[in-house]
Structure 1
């Protein structure tokens, strides 16, 4: 627990913190928009996409803002990379919010009106900038240790999954062909690209709007982007429990359990990507998908149980050895008073 607590940030990366605060404010505005604005884009509120992006960038921005000041190598380079990410994120999500306010599409929109034409150029460049900055940050973190070994493993794996999740976005941008649909103002707009695989965009699960009838690349995109938060919270939970559970105080045990969590998150990302590219909805898995899920759960369970059983056995032997080595009690001498 002590090692994990020491890994918590003593300061924040201010540009990323500012970006996160702006995104949190946008999330509130978008949530209000959902309540008072009845305009729709493909059966979804015009404010749904700004809300989802604002929440996502708030969470990921805070993660990076907390992490970067704790790194001991490449500090200046990482500070600038974080600043580039923050500035680019504000511009990109700002464009999404602007298009929502205008009642039109931000993604895949090939409309020739000046605002959209300029915005799409900036938007597409920004996606590449965000992806590039994340890749470099991930590589630089791979070259150093952050906090204890468990937290280092979680951050390295998490950032690799973030990078993979962002890579999926390029598949989103390149799929679906072209089609013409009405925007919230009833004006026809040509879209080039789609989230869905094998089915058109529009209609889906509540909140996420992920397709219920076909593949949807937004599912692995989401899993990849937010696995890092799951892994970091898992490590912090292990550190907290180590103060109460003796066998968790062994750093090797926490590292191995973190490895189980990494395998689980990586497996979920791989399976949801596999589902999506086969045109299969998350909520309608076939036998092969269910078999893959069962295999993942079984491997993770065996690894976790084996780690816990071995750790408890070592802890019990250690306590037993401590008792056997203890000095004999000092009994009073015979006839002593």
Structure 2
């Protein structure tokens, strides 16, 4: 499979974000810093690795979608730009020793929080557009891979919408003049957000790994079983939260 220039760019940027995340993790270990709290270096560490992995994943998954070169370039370019901005600003705030999200303490903090929110909406819009494209017929891609990609993107939509709800709840609590409660509100949906984030990698990777091992009907059955298992785990995470 030929790697397009925009895909190569996403792969390189994704590796850079992962490297930045791992570097923050090393600093955190060496300095003995806290792994919890809104100003911990854990945040740029986890966001760097997660965003980098997601960017690489989406660039790869998009290669199985019926996209023209211009549309692919715009969507992946927006995704790459938003990912770099998100991780960059989160890192800046962590090194400043202040929270990155829902922080409106100063004019600078407010601007960064709004840019992060805007970047989040860009991410949601791009993944939503890719999800719609995945629903189109694409006869040159195996049915098992088409199913895996569609399900992975739909589950990723759930993750991003969960993240948006977390931010909305946090902002609403901040304007209720309870900053600490706002940070606590951000964490309530984290298990669901985390579980659903990387289905877009797990499911297509499964379809790719078994592509030459079984017949296509059996591969479709395996992907369906994986989707059901993933949905069950996500549902269990949500049910656990509702029970609290």
TM-score normalised to structure 1 length:
0.64
User: Is 1:239 the counterpart of 2:204 in the alignment?
Assistant: no
Matched, 1:252 2:221: no
- Where do 5+ consecutive residues of structure 1 fail to align? 1-8, 182-189, 197-215, 243-247, 281-337
Residues 88 and 126 of structure 1 are in contact (CA less than 8 Å); yes or no, is this contact kept in structure 2?
yes
CA-to-aligned-CA distance 1:30-75 (integer Å, 9 cap, x gap): 1222123345485577211111111111211111222334434334
For 1:74 and 1:273, the matched residues in 2 are separated by: 37
Residues 44 and 33 (structure 1 numbering): CA distance in 2 closer, same or farther, change over 3 Å?
farther
1:269 corresponds to 2:234? yes
Correspondences of 1:140-159 after superposition (within 5 Å): 140-145=133-138, 147-159=141-153
Q: Hey, which of these two has a bigger chunk of strand by percent?
A: 1
Residues 65 and 133 of structure 2 are in contact (CA less than 8 Å); yes or no, is this contact kept in structure 1? no
Q: Which residue of 1 aligns with 2:198?
A: 226
Between Structure 1 and Structure 2, how many residues are aligned? 236
Aligned to 2:128: 135
- Structure with the larger helix share: 2
> Pairwise CA RMSD of aligned residues?
2.3
Superposed CA deviations along residues 104-145 of structure 1, whole A, max 9, x for unmatched, are 111222212x32122112111111111111100111121133
- How far, CA to CA, are the matches of 2:137 and 2:48 in structure 1? 30
Larger Rg: 1 or 2? 1
Distance 1:101 1:121 in 2: 19
How far, CA to CA, are the matches of 1:111 and 1:38 in structure 2? 27
* TM-score, normalised with respect to structure 2: 0.87
The unaligned stretches of length 5 or more in structure 2 are: none
How far, CA to CA, are the matches of 1:265 and 1:165 in structure 2? 13
Q: 1:119 aligns with which of 112, 117, 124?
A: 112
Q: Which residue, out of 10, 31, 45, partners 2:2?
A: 10
Partner SS for 1:110 = coil
